[in-house]
Structure 1
Amino acid sequence: MRAYLLIMLFISGLSFSQNTISGTVTDTNKQSIPGANITVVGSSSGTSTDFDGTFKLNTPSKPPFTIKISAVGFESKTINITSLNQKADVILKDEETKLDEIVVSASRTPERVIESPVTIERMGIQEIKNTTAATFYDGLENLKEVNFNTSSISFKSVNTRGFATVANTRFMQLVDGMDNSSPALNFVLGNLIGISDIDVASVELLPGASSALYGANAFNGIMFMNSKSPFTNEGISVYYKYGQTSQKAAGTNDYNDFGIRAAKAFTKHFAMKANFTYMEASEWIAADTRSMTGGSIGHAMNQNYDGLNIYGDEVTTSIPNVGQVSRTGYREQDLTDNKVKSMKADFGMHFKPWADDTEIILQYKIGTGNTIYQGANRYALKNFLMQQGKFEVKGKNFFARVYFTSEDAGDSYDMRFAGWNINRMAKSDKNWFTDYGTAFQLSSAALGLNANEAAVYARNFADYNVSPGLPLVPNTDPANPSAPRSARFEPGSTQFINALATVTSNPDLTQGAKFIDHSKLYHSDVNYNFKDLIKFAEIQVGGSWRKYVMDSEGTIFTDYDGPIEYKEYGAYAQLQKKWLDDRLKFTGSLRYDKSQNFDGNLSPRISFVYSAGESKRHNFRVSYQTGFRNPTTQDQYIGLDLGPFALIGSAAENLDRFQETVNVSASGQAVAGQPATLPMSGRNAYENAYTLASVQAFAASGNVTDLKVANVQLVKPEQVQAFEAGYRTVVQNDLSIDINGYYNIYNDFMNTSRVISPYYGTAGTGTTPAVLLSYQALAFGDRRVYQVYTNTTAQITSLGFGVGLSKKVYKDFELGVNYNYAQFDFDQSEDPSFVAGFNTPKHRIKGSFGNAKLTKNLGFNLNVRWNTEYLWQSSFGDGMIPENTVLDAQINYGIPKLKSVIKVGATNLFGKDYLQVVGAGMIGKMVFASWTINP
């Protein structure tokens, strides 16, 4: 029945009477203008020019009527159409319109960039065409205020104004109005289900707090990606890119990227479009061997070595008369195939049932692939899948949409657990450490080896059951942990391959590494603008509702007994008014949000924009707003045993949902009179624990007065007060100036903290029997390390400013430069365990130089980025990110007869491998060539 209705729509659409107007659009140099918009004034009919500037406009209107021709960077023009055979050849004059471009995101209403009440960055079709990066999404890194955190060649997260890791939960990304965040992880997975390069119409980015209009997650920035309409951008477009990546660890490898877009307006009432893209490449291999336990790199000189990108060596124990010893681990590149794949598709049906601007949209998006994500551990996302479906009705002054997001972790796994459990399949931890200790002490006593020599001898014996130089003992039963002790599985061997397949298909993290995730998100938005009904000011109202459904089958969350659900909602109102001959614009907004597990939050925003000068080209703005961020699903409901410690979310019900059983030491049983096993819950982490630092001090001194009770409060929303000022102008017709500064005050900043809970006794100070019992538990090693989610008591502030300049220096040669300064401050003594994770360089400079019209069909562009050294902090690893200078370049040549553009480019053209994320792969060089065909 559905297929029949769709066919009838197609047939009925083709039967409508259509009139066709054709023409060309060029500039004053007689060069074609691709992508110019042609619309019938007073009608919804429209189209755009193809690559050589020609167009065909189908409209039911009969002459006479008027068409309007507009293009970014040119003055608009109208032409009267008096007959059907009239040829509409139009010449548009150049106009510096960078700050006159229309944006919607800053106030949820169309306004010029220059009049925006807050800082905003924009990337349009021309900027997308000229980007020096391999994709438009990668090209966002060249925008002012944007800093990338690269976890993988295909997974890059946007960082604006700091406090962001790869998992940037303080930044929101919307694609055609839909939140791109993972339902379970609560942060954006790059462009996994975003927009194709040939379907993107524009990108708008607000680098500051935006909670007043967009709710909880728009805390430190929000980005809008908007796709092309099939009513105005018809035809079949195709691109293909081939390139090579070069990195010291990975060598030189192929890069392939293909995409196709098909769009058709069958009638003025009905249009459809579809997109498909596929990309494959080799990963930037993470091969950082720095020791996380101090000392030398490698086990040859450091028996407790724990390499950053080596997994399995985190398993460690103290052996009497030997010291602290770690197992032999596996490199990250041994635990994954280092191949990146991305496939995404979308399909949309667009209906305009009436003569006005009302449009009904049905849209479906799907994305799948392989990539690397870095959180507390490094995760290989294999066949990871996300889907979104949307139903939206929008018009001139309103929109209403509902959508869902679902995900499937596929064959994804934790590489650290993979290393641990492959080792355990070859030999249990108990047997391995017993062999190590026995061999160390015997070799030292019988052979007279020094400590380093004895350590090498002992490791070889524990790994392979033999003395150095003797043949390895073959494995007897790698799938049976209780089998006789066998040799270590060497990477690439059949034993290793089989063991890796076994652990990565097992979701029990005591034996495997796979994680399961079938989480979902349901969301609805409404907005209405009363500007046609109320004249004294522009007033908008709107609201949203959202439901999270966490479904990890107990592998990530404490959803052992079924999915966990919770809801949140919000409502807002905004008033915008102009005075003083429209020179002074006031915008005031207020939003209320309520999450099921937390108290409600009010988020106000007020701003003033004043346009000075005879032509109103000097625009000054000031704004104040508050933002907030609700704890994520992980902050609330995670219950993940990572081995050395467990992650415990702090939703009140989660403290009882997390349950585990621990094994009491022989001393605890004999001296403290405890049973062999004891139950533990999340309440131990939050209600009966000492701070990690104090337990470490106690271990060193033996003085119980060093112990401090961890008074961990349940996590609650964090808030920010954001003050911003700015100035924008265009002088001398082509010099654009954009200056902004901000100051943020953060309260209840969300934080994680490590605590240690004794298996028995009560955490405290003094000499009561229960407290003394806890001292014994710590002394006997009967203790559990937890990472808990809470809020810091310290007040944090950040400030920064940016300056952007752009000018045509000679004819169409354009030079641009921008500078950003960013810093944060807090008193560490207020919360000694707090880790800020600002992860942003203090100084950044970006420059561009190019000419889109070097000759009739030839253009080029250069981009350079520089940043100072800065501290990176995350749960996976800390360290310094070095100073970097990166140069990207591209040249493009148009072939009008083939409606094609050929582009050749390179990123990190002359630089060496550089780092953006401690623990991730260093970023190498990429050279690429692309061929794009547009109708």
Structure 2
Amino acid sequence: MEKLSVFRFILIMSLVFNVNFLLAQNSISGTIVDAEEGVAIYGASVFILGTTNGSATDFDGNFTITTYGDLPIKIEVSSLGYTSQIIDVTSADQNLSIQLELGSDFLDEVIISASRRPEKIVDAPASVSVISARKIANSSEAIDPIRHLMNVPGVTVANYTANSMNIEMRSGNGLLGTAVLPLLDYRIISTPAARSNFSYQYGLTNLDLERIEVIRGTNSALYGPGVEGGVVHFITKKAIDHPGTSAELYTGELRSRGLAVRHAYANESKTFGYKINVKYNEGADFGLDPVEDAERISSFYTKIVQPIIKNKVVDATQSGSPLIGMDYLDPDRDGNPLASEYQNLAMNAHFEFRPNENTTATLSGGYSDAGGLAIQDQGYFYNQGIDYWAHARVTSGNLFAQVSYNTNDGGSPQDPTFLYETGNRVVGKREFFVANAQYDLDVPSFLDSKFNFGIDYQDTASDSEYTLYGRNEDNDPYNITGVYAQGQSKLSENLTMTYAARLDKYNFIDEAAFAPKLALVYKLNESNSIRASYSVGTYGASSLEAYIDFPVQTLSAGQLDVWLSGQIEPHIFDQNAQIEVTGAGAYVPGGYYIPRTETSLEYSHLYNITKGLTLPGISAQLGANAALAPLVAPIEAFFNTYAGPAGTTGQIRGFNIFNSSETMSELTDVGSAQIATIDNFEIGYKGRIGKKLSLGVDFYYAARKGFTEFTGVGPTYMLTGGDLVGTWPTTVGQDLISDPGMQAAAAGYVQAAYAGAGLPASGLPAATSIALGLPSSGLALLLAPDGALPPSNLATLGLLNLISGQVAGGFTQAGQLLDGEINPLAFGAISSNRAPNDGVTHISSGYRQYPNVTRSHWGADVSAEYYHNENLSLWANYSHVSQNQWIPGEANDDDLPFPSYLNTPMNKYRGGFRFNADNVRASLSYQYDTAFFSNFGAGLGGDTPERHTFDGNIGFQIIDGVFFDIQATNLLDREYRQYPGLPIIGRRVLFKTTINF
């Protein structure tokens, strides 16, 4: 149904465009150059004043705008580092040769993402940054444009490997998910099922990027839940405004090779255009250290299987069907199965329609076949799949509407997505449908107000074939419906108030998410403004966090795993539950349980676990000896009522499987998914000091209420100092022969044997005993070592010791086997009602809810850029957070009941320069992060050292239209890990050639 809706929308829009093509049009062309040097300015923005109809200059400074309105009109021209101008256009053949004066009026640039409508940066009611096409061209990043964000204040680009990275902002850093909403030409490009950034699947290229808009801070009032960190909007070049063909090729370190091609066409009337992008890249990836990370590498599975599904969940008791082995996982034959190379392909096509200045539309679609390492709180996994997307967007007058559809096959049996810690394939098939409509209404009579009214609908469909969503697979709907409104009113000539509110409803959460925003912008003059705002960010569980139901980590195949259950239902614990002993199911059908109150392991439990398999063997062994066979019955009679040996060993302690230092002994239920919020207060300044210095200063306060902590929700128990073999088997044997009944039976047996053979109760000397042939008779087991027949009372004692030794030997063997089965570090566990009842010990993990807990901190982002001249600019920025960890019991813990971490340094410094001349360009950037402590699951995180890195680029024009660049990331090769436990990031130098045909 969703696909049909897209096609109907496209058909209707096409009919509308055919009508609009009949209208008259005027084409306005011109050239924009630097006023002092007379050189062309590339990427300058040209907009018809009061509309969204705009263009940008090409490499020769030329632009063309088509308008269907009557002349005269006004156009606004701006470019980063120059003072903007407003020009009157009175005729289509007017000679527009525009000269821009050097300045720092980046504030005059038009930004769309802050208010979901065009406005100047200086007027935006949010903390914003823009990365222009000029900066993109002169950067150190040829492969993944995500890294252009590396030097933006308040933004963290988490460099996990050369191929995998994530984006975060003020709300703190995670591993897999993100609180930042990434958009590409208004389309959501993150993976909605997990709110993840798999940027290697995006197909972004530097050739096609026009600019990147960054909005810091909560934006739920306009964009909905899950945007508590901010928005990053990648805006590409329109084919109508940027026709032509360009290509870039690169090669370099880590066997890096790549190619990108952009071809765009526009008709003469500028009413139709199309473009095609193709991107391919491959190379070796950064990885783990074979010595330092040997323990982690050894935990990775060397064979990936298709898991057996039983009762709609992964059956942990059976080995799956093999899919791939070390030939696939370890092509470089170094013994490490972790992926060490990547290969990605992406292509897309766009059709653009501009029938008049008030109507624009785009139909686009794309494909990618890509994969890469991904890291989550549960450990490492490899993600790959074929991804398709389609997008239709139209702006007509005050109406904006779009629909998009994305589908990913989540990997195939030949090229699967899988977890390194379980060796299981996980099927990640997913579909994502989005529809959005917005109407802009201007009411000049009411405080010169501008209003936006919008509605959003998102629907995520997943199919894991029971490998990931388990018992929730057949009922896992996930959709969000939201409505929003925003107004901007001028309270005075210089003071503007922005007010917005949004209401969103998840289909599986009872309460709605309400996100208001209020902002005041006071313009000191046309180039300086101050801002104060209050906003609320909302977020809830992702589809993955809601419906996941599978073994996230296998600790002992068929015996012990960590079972992750999502937030769609609560975890309920039986308060009378006992500890399930790991591995005991192999000895006791249905498993073995010990009281939760025990702090030391009673020997009787070891006996009771092993007796079922041990006693039959002892009876068979004794019964095989005709002389001892009569004693089997009294032995079995003893064990029928025997409770086990006395005594204890070791210490039993409950703990959190993801944090062994955290004691966990209580059984605490865990609630289902809820809405959480972030209250954000902010004051800021954006402006220009003199003509050459631009400055931005932001202070913010964030209070996050409501937490979901991924953690072990049920206790795991460790046994420290335990002896499973040593003393207790001997005690069992001694208890047997100390039993009066057993003693009487043994004495009667001996007396009867003596009497039956006509032997004296007082015994016989060795010589006589040998002469009578007793050593070869059934009485041999009663003889002394020298062959003498002892007195009957001593023979009884010897017989009992013999039986005791054999019994002790049998239980010693059982204890040794049990010792091999039981992991003392995970001796046992208590599972919630969400774990399968399949004979395997499952450590329950999930998302513990803290709805009434609030964590707060403040922060600051400062940025400055000095434009020395039209060729050279110097820049620096600084980001600070007042606190990045909350430890219960410390003075600044905010009364949190658990440790909490932002996983970001308290201080981040960035600085550098950019140089652009006619034939030469160069840039250098420096990044310094102070040390901090990070904390994730699966042994990831810890003390993260301070980091000093440099990135650089130098390029020059070889011939007209051909540029050659040398680009380096981590130029000085100061190796680091984004977080402890992650791959080591070193230097990568690339050689890139860009050709503009």
> Same fold by TM (over 0.5)?
yes
Aligned twin of 2:33: 26
Deviations along 1:24-58, one digit per CA (max 9) or x if unpaired, are 43212121222345678899987644323345778
Match of 1:165 among 174, 178, 185: 174
SS of 1:168 mapped into structure 2: coil
Match of 2:935 among 864, 873, 897: 873
Instruction: State the one-letter code of the partner of 1:695.
Output: G
> Is 1:891 equivalent to 2:954 in the alignment?
yes
Aligned twin of 1:820: 879
Alpha-carbon distance, 1:579 to partner: 2.4
- Where do 1:703-714 residues align within 5 Å? 707-714=665-672
Deviations along 1:518-537, one digit per CA (max 9) or x if unpaired, are 11111111111111676432
Aligned twin of 1:244: 253
Please say which structure displays the higher CA radius of gyration: 2
- Where do 1:121-520 residues align within 5 Å? 121-134=129-142, 135-190=144-199, 192-245=201-254, 253-265=255-267, 267-287=269-289, 289-290=291-292, 306-307=295-296, 310-312=299-301, 334-336=336-338, 338-353=340-355, 355-375=356-376, 376-382=378-384, 384-411=385-412, 413=416, 417=420, 513-520=424-431
Alpha-carbon distance, 1:209 to partner: 0.9
Q: What is the alpha-carbon distance in structure 1 between the residues aligned to residue 364 and residue 398 of structure 2?
A: 21
SS of 2:654 mapped into structure 1: helix
SS of 1:828 mapped into structure 2: coil
Alpha-carbon distance, 1:637 to partner: 0.6
Aligned twin of 2:674: 716
Alpha-carbon distance, 1:929 to partner: 2.3
Distance of aligned partners of 1:694 and 1:223 in 2 relative to their CA distance in 1, 3 Å threshold:
farther
Distance of aligned partners of 1:166 and 1:150 in 2 relative to their CA distance in 1, 3 Å threshold:
farther
Alpha-carbon distance, 1:776 to partner: 12
- Where do 1:693-772 residues align within 5 Å? 695-696=654-655, 707-756=665-714
Aligned twin of 1:622: 532
Aligned twin of 1:901: 963
Q: What is the alpha-carbon distance in structure 2 between the residues aligned to residue 42 and residue 616 of structure 1?
A: 17
SS of 2:127 mapped into structure 1: coil
Aligned twin of 1:574: 486
Match of 1:805 among 860, 864, 867: 864
Q: What is the alpha-carbon distance in structure 2 between the residues aligned to residue 63 and residue 406 of structure 1?
A: 46
Identical residues among aligned pairs (%): 22
Aligned twin of 2:644: none
Distance of aligned partners of 1:785 and 1:578 in 2 relative to their CA distance in 1, 3 Å threshold:
same
Distance of aligned partners of 1:815 and 1:757 in 2 relative to their CA distance in 1, 3 Å threshold:
closer
Q: What is the alpha-carbon distance in structure 1 between the residues aligned to residue 397 and residue 69 of structure 2?
A: 21
Deviations along 1:311-361, one digit per CA (max 9) or x if unpaired, are 2599xxxxxxxxxxxxx99999632552212221111222234x3411232
SS of 1:744 mapped into structure 2: strand
Alpha-carbon distance, 1:592 to partner: 0.8
Q: What is the alpha-carbon distance in structure 1 between the residues aligned to residue 955 and residue 433 of structure 2?
A: 42
Alpha-carbon distance, 1:397 to partner: 2.5
Match of 2:505 among 594, 598, 603: 594
Distance of aligned partners of 1:267 and 1:83 in 2 relative to their CA distance in 1, 3 Å threshold:
closer
Q: What is the alpha-carbon distance in structure 1 between the residues aligned to residue 95 and residue 418 of structure 2?
A: 64
Distance of aligned partners of 1:211 and 1:339 in 2 relative to their CA distance in 1, 3 Å threshold:
same
Distance of aligned partners of 1:17 and 1:386 in 2 relative to their CA distance in 1, 3 Å threshold:
same
Which has the larger displacement, 63-72 or 158-167?
63-72
Q: What is the alpha-carbon distance in structure 2 between the residues aligned to residue 55 and residue 706 of structure 1?
A: 67
> Is 1:651 equivalent to 2:568 in the alignment?
yes
> Is 1:928 equivalent to 2:928 in the alignment?
no
Aligned twin of 2:913: 849
SS of 1:206 mapped into structure 2: strand
Instruction: State the one-letter code of the partner of 2:160.
Output: S
SS of 1:132 mapped into structure 2: coil
Alpha-carbon distance, 1:564 to partner: 2.4
8 Å CA contact retained: 2:247, 2:259: no
Distance of aligned partners of 1:218 and 1:671 in 2 relative to their CA distance in 1, 3 Å threshold:
closer
Instruction: State the one-letter code of the partner of 1:746.
Output: R
SS of 1:748 mapped into structure 2: strand
> Is 1:633 equivalent to 2:543 in the alignment?
yes
8 Å CA contact retained: 1:167, 1:187: yes
8 Å CA contact retained: 1:263, 1:274: no
Q: What is the alpha-carbon distance in structure 2 between the residues aligned to residue 776 and residue 379 of structure 1?
A: 27
Q: What is the alpha-carbon distance in structure 2 between the residues aligned to residue 883 and residue 579 of structure 1?
A: 47
Deviations along 1:826-869, one digit per CA (max 9) or x if unpaired, are 4525988735341101111000112223xx32222111000011
> Aligned pairs, how many?
764
Instruction: State the one-letter code of the partner of 2:133.
Output: I
Alpha-carbon distance, 1:210 to partner: 0.8
Distance of aligned partners of 1:258 and 1:805 in 2 relative to their CA distance in 1, 3 Å threshold:
same
Alpha-carbon distance, 1:194 to partner: 5.0
Instruction: State the one-letter code of the partner of 2:711.
Output: S
> Is 1:839 equivalent to 2:906 in the alignment?
no
8 Å CA contact retained: 2:887, 2:900: no
8 Å CA contact retained: 2:264, 2:276: yes
Alpha-carbon distance, 1:378 to partner: 1.3
- Where do 1:75-94 residues align within 5 Å? 75-76=84-85, 78=87, 88-94=96-102
Name structure 1 gaps, 5 residues minimum.
246-252, 292-297, 299-305, 315-327, 421-511, 677-691, 760-774
Deviations along 1:132-171, one digit per CA (max 9) or x if unpaired, are 3235321210111111212231221112124322313322
Q: What is the alpha-carbon distance in structure 2 between the residues aligned to residue 6 and residue 222 of structure 1?
A: 28
Instruction: State the one-letter code of the partner of 1:721.
Output: D
8 Å CA contact retained: 2:217, 2:228: yes
Aligned twin of 2:441: 530
Distance of aligned partners of 1:147 and 1:736 in 2 relative to their CA distance in 1, 3 Å threshold:
same
Instruction: State the one-letter code of the partner of 1:788.
Output: G
SS of 1:530 mapped into structure 2: strand
8 Å CA contact retained: 2:200, 2:371: no
Deviations along 1:562-592, one digit per CA (max 9) or x if unpaired, are 46223221111112111232x1111111111
Q: What is the alpha-carbon distance in structure 2 between the residues aligned to residue 900 and residue 578 of structure 1?
A: 49
Alpha-carbon distance, 1:116 to partner: 2.0
SS of 1:231 mapped into structure 2: coil
Alpha-carbon distance, 1:395 to partner: 3.0
Distance of aligned partners of 1:309 and 1:131 in 2 relative to their CA distance in 1, 3 Å threshold:
farther
Q: What is the alpha-carbon distance in structure 2 between the residues aligned to residue 394 and residue 18 of structure 1?
A: 18
Distance of aligned partners of 1:592 and 1:309 in 2 relative to their CA distance in 1, 3 Å threshold:
farther
Q: What is the alpha-carbon distance in structure 2 between the residues aligned to residue 874 and residue 283 of structure 1?
A: 23
Q: What is the alpha-carbon distance in structure 1 between the residues aligned to residue 947 and residue 268 of structure 2?
A: 51
Distance of aligned partners of 1:776 and 1:667 in 2 relative to their CA distance in 1, 3 Å threshold:
farther
Match of 1:116 among 120, 124, 127: 124
SS of 2:532 mapped into structure 1: strand
SS of 1:564 mapped into structure 2: coil
8 Å CA contact retained: 1:175, 1:194: no
Alpha-carbon distance, 1:406 to partner: 1.4
Alpha-carbon distance, 1:110 to partner: 2.1
Distance of aligned partners of 1:554 and 1:715 in 2 relative to their CA distance in 1, 3 Å threshold:
same
Name structure 2 gaps, 5 residues minimum.
1-6, 304-325, 555-560, 574-579, 594-607, 613-650, 718-825, 832-838
8 Å CA contact retained: 2:131, 2:212: yes
SS of 1:126 mapped into structure 2: helix
Q: What is the alpha-carbon distance in structure 1 between the residues aligned to residue 52 and residue 267 of structure 2?
A: 12
Q: What is the alpha-carbon distance in structure 2 between the residues aligned to residue 66 and residue 697 of structure 1?
A: 66
Alpha-carbon distance, 1:746 to partner: 1.1
Aligned twin of 1:790: 848
